[in-house]
């Protein structure tokens, strides 16, 4: 935790007043009672410290403070005034933005000789020879002819004048889109010190919108840090627009490749990009990379950096996770094809749209890639296929689970190493995947919980059937405190009335607000539509990430209660407990065994999508933390077991033969001779939130239900099918199933369909067949039997709260 200082920097952290818009649901004003209570952005005088390095993987980087200032001030990029310039006066106040941009420091970007050095790279020569585009003895002109599609990418530079103009234009444009762009100043001093020491910085963020790759260079330019070369996954067709972007350091896709996946299939492109990254790092340039949380696209750039460090071409690189949070994500999701006409249409919509919502950006503490890889602290030798971890439990009803981590090799396909002289070993490849997973987890953990995310989580997971504003205000205050206790930053502050009104103003198109004249509080209900539910589910993801341990533990409790309800007697119920009885849907008094609870939580951990768990933490440790978190929440209480001999009576416990252990065991403890005490828990409803168990269970229901529906719908498709076509058909099947049930629309997103298909592939339910047209999927012979599909469905559905 860190102390909040009243130094004037935090003046922009107060939530802006709600944007008045022509929305009939809120134009008449909500009948929210005026309350004096405020929603604090911190606990007392302290705020959470976010963005610190992993204490397990990179303790040396964590110990390097590098002049960090833990005041945790925030600054609004859009509030440029005359005090930030060297001039004063009424005229300066009107052109202060242009004066400020002209005074920002811009670092040089030399490109002289870069093309020649890229052409002389052994990777590029090997790729040209392998594809017979240039014979081994070809001269430089022959190589240039073969590399002509990639010459503009290699010659990407940062022009001082163009960069200042583009940044000025972005400040003006974002002022019409967002109410504010708050930047955490916590680790900026560390970045300044690292830049002065010559450290090579690579900024990594999780892709959410096309605006992401523009915000990071703008933030760094604003604070006179080196503007990075930005890897952009968009395909820009217009030649003029490509030329402008390439002069501000944007590395675009080649014109011949429609998508990022298609570009990475070209061995020559891979070789050129690896050589380009090597030259940029040799020049001392910074790089900005976006990674897709769903597919892992963008991670290949991190693998290239890791390979260069291993070869010794680059001494070391410092990775900087960046968390970007939106009140309302701009409607500019990653598109494949961007032309000049679409750009003008988007700009016209922006200027016609009134500014709404805020953005909060957290730049985390940089950490060393070399330290993470060579220290051996990030273990990847326990990674196992998902089918080895879960199939014995699913098909054979084994009580225990295989210990290990789930292997997610699809995040970094072997085709990305086609340009290498020698394909790396499985452990080296898993280490690169671990870096990708760690950065996804770190960047997601840095994200602040915005008021719309908090409100979406409450409406979707706690008050699905509607809630009054007075109850909603109470729950907002409760959930804010819970988030702050979990070391999560919140992107708002101010009076409770303003926070609720502001959030409802932004979410109004997805809500039904009914105000009866006889009642003081209006009723707020989420719209029962596909678009509204998907939007609320997407906004609530940051809250789910914050409560992931509690959600896993709650689903494990739900699975054991489901077993009790179906069988009447379970192995988890102690035989010496009297009065254990199941009475329909009412509450029942059961005692849950810690070992079985942990086993259920461990099995569920293997089904989580990538990014929810840090790869350096074992699944067993995460499962134990999940059960402990429910004890801290007050959902589980440890049962006191009566004993014949007091636990403190050591002499009576030692009666009988003595047991000995080896003294050279590094993990030896005096308590090893004792039998471990099996702990058991009872369920209770916390007074501060009686329905907290069900609130936590619903957080993972969308993902689990999509898995169930996909499993039961496998017999509806004619196999084999191309992977992209199969994912599209599964997405259509999920939407049709939800429309028939007229509920559970959160399970119908494209991300849910993609994650469900990928999980079934890892489980061995679907087999990948490589053909000329690409990857085709077919149901494995083991799961062509309906009995096995039913077993899989029962295993997944036990975690669903009904």
pLDDT at 649: 53
CA-closest candidate to residue 285, choices 364, 220, 232: 220
Largest CA distance in the chain: 93
Return d(Cα 680, Cα 701) in angstroms, integer.
26
What's the chain's average pLDDT?
81
Q: Are 470 and 460 in contact (CB under 8 A)?
A: no
Pairing of strands 405-406, 383-384: parallel
pLDDT at 802: 67
The encoded tokens of residue 703 equal 């993902």
pLDDT at 6: 39
Q: Which residue has the tokens 């990022």?
A: 260
Q: Are 748 and 530 in contact (CB under 8 A)?
A: yes
- N- to C-terminal Cα separation, the chain: 38
Handedness of CA 102, 216, 342, 258 (dihedral sign): positive
Return d(Cα 768, Cα 446) in angstroms, integer.
36
Residue 224 Rama label (left phi>0; alpha psi -120 to 50; beta): left
Ranges under pLDDT 50 in the chain: 1-14, 16-36, 66-67, 333-336, 569-588, 650, 653-654, 661-675
The encoded tokens of residue 179 equal 């109410």
Return d(Cα 265, Cα 268) in angstroms, integer.
9
The encoded tokens of residue 639 equal 């049962």
Query: What's the CA angle centered on 692, arms 689 and 693, to 5 degrees?
Result: 145
Q: Under CATH, what is the fold of the domain 113-131+143-375? A: Glycerol-3-phosphate (1)-acyltransferase (3.40.1130)
Return d(Cα 646, Cα 419) in angstroms, integer.
68
pLDDT at 633: 86
Q: Are 449 and 543 in contact (CB under 8 A)?
A: yes
Return d(Cα 375, Cα 56) in angstroms, integer.
10
In the chain, % helix, strand, coil (3-state, to 5) comes to 50, 10, 40
Judge if the upstream peptide bond of residue 435 is cis by omega within 30 degrees of 0. no
> 467 CB contacts (<8 Å, ≥6 apart)?
458, 459, 475, 523, 524, 525
The encoded tokens of residue 449 equal 């919980």
Q: Which CATH architecture has domain 704-797?
A: Orthogonal Bundle (1.10)
């Amino acid at each position: 935790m860190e102390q909040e200082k009243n130094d004037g920097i935090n003046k922009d952290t107060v939530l802006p007043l709600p944007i008045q818009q022509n929305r009939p649901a809120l134009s008449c004003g909500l009948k929210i009672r005026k309350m004096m209570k405020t929603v604090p952005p911190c606990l007392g005088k302290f705020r959470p410290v976010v963005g610190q390095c992993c204490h397990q993987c990179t303790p040396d980087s964590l110990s390097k403070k590098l002049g960090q200032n833990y005041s945790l001030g925030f600054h609004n990029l859009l509030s440029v005034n005359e005090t930030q310039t060297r001039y004063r006066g009424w005229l300066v106040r009107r052109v202060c933005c242009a004066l400020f941009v002209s005074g920002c420091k811009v670092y040089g970007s030399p490109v002289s000789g870069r093309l020649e050095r890229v052409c002389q790279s052994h990777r590029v020569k090997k790729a040209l020879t392998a594809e017979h585009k240039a014979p081994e003895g070809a001269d430089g002109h022959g190589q240039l002819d073969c590399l002509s599609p990639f010459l503009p990418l290699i010659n990407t530079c940062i022009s001082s004048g163009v960069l200042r103009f583009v940044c000025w234009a972005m400040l003006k444009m974002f002022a019409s889109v967002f109410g504010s762009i708050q930047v955490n100043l916590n680790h900026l001093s560390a970045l300044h010190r690292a830049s002065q020491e010559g450290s090579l910085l690579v900024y990594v963020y999780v892709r959410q919108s096309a605006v992401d790759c523009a915000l990071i260079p703008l933030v760094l330019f604003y604070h006179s840090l080196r503007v990075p070369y930005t890897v952009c996954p968009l395909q820009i067709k217009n030649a003029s627009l490509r030329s402008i972007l390439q002069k501000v350091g944007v590395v675009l896709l080649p014109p011949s490749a429609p998508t990022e996946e298609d570009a990475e299939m070209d061995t020559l492109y891979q070789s050129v990009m690896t050589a380009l990254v090597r030259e940029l790092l040799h020049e001392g340039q910074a790089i900005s990379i976006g990674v897709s949380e769903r597919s892992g696209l963008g991670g290949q750039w991190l693998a290239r950096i890791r390979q260069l460090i291993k070869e010794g071409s680059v001494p070391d690189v410092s990775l900087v996770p960046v968390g970007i949070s939106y009140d309302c994500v701009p409607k500019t999701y990653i598109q494949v094809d961007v032309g000049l006409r679409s750009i003008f249409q988007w700009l016209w919509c922006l200027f016609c749209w009134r500014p709404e919502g805020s953005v909060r950006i957290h730049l985390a503490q940089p950490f060393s890639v070399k330290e993470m890889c060579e220290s051996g602290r990030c273990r990847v030798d326990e990674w196992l296929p998902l089918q080895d971890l879960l199939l014995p439990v699913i098909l054979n009803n084994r009580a225990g689970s295989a210990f290990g981590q789930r292997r997610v090799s699809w995040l970094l396909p072997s085709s990305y190493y086609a340009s290498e002289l020698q394909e790396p070993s499985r452990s080296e490849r898993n280490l690169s995947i671990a870096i990708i997973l760690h950065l996804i987890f770190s960047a997601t953990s840095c994200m602040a919980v915005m008021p719309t995310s908090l409100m979406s989580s409450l409406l979707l997971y706690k008050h699905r059937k509607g809630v009054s504003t007075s109850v909603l205000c109470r729950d907002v205050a409760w959930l804010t405190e819970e988030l702050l206790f979990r070391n999560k930053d919140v992107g708002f502050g101010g009076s409770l009335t303003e926070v609720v009104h502001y959030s409802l103003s932004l979410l109004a198109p997805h809500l039904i607000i009914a105000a009866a004249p006889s009642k003081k509080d209006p009723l707020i209900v989420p719209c029962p539509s596909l678009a509204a539910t998907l939007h609320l589910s997407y906004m609530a993801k940051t809250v789910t990430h914050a409560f992931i341990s509690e959600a896993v533990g709650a689903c494990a409790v739900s699975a054991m209660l489901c077993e009790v309800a179906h069988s009447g007697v379970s192995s988890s119920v102690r035989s010496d407990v009297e009065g254990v009885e199941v009475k329909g849907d009412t509450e029942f008094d059961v005692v849950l065994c810690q070992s079985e609870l942990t086993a259920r939580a461990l099995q569920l951990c293997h089904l989580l999508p990538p990014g929810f768990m840090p790869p350096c933490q074992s699944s067993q440790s995460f499962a134990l933390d999940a059960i402990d978190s429910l004890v801290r929440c007050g959902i589980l209480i440890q049962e006191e077991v009566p004993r014949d001999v007091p636990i403190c009576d050591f002499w009576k416990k030692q009666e009988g033969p003595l047991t000995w252990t080896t003294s050279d065991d590094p993990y030896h403890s005096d308590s090893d001779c004792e039998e471990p005490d099996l702990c058991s828990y009872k369920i209770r409803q916390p007074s501060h939130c009686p329905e907290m168990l069900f609130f936590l269970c619903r957080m993972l229901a969308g993902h689990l239900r999509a898995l169930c529906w996909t499993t039961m719908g496998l017999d509806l498709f004619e196999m084999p099918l191309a992977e992209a076509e199969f994912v599209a058909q599964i997405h259509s099947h999920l939407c049709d199933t939800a429309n028939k049930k007229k509920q559970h629309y959160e399970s119908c997103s494209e991300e849910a369909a993609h994650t469900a298909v990928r999980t079934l592939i890892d489980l061995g339910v679907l087999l990948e067949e490589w053909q000329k047209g690409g990857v085709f999927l077919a149901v494995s012979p083991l799961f062509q039997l309906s009995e096995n599909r039913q077993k899989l469905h029962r295993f997944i559905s036990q975690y669903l709260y009904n």
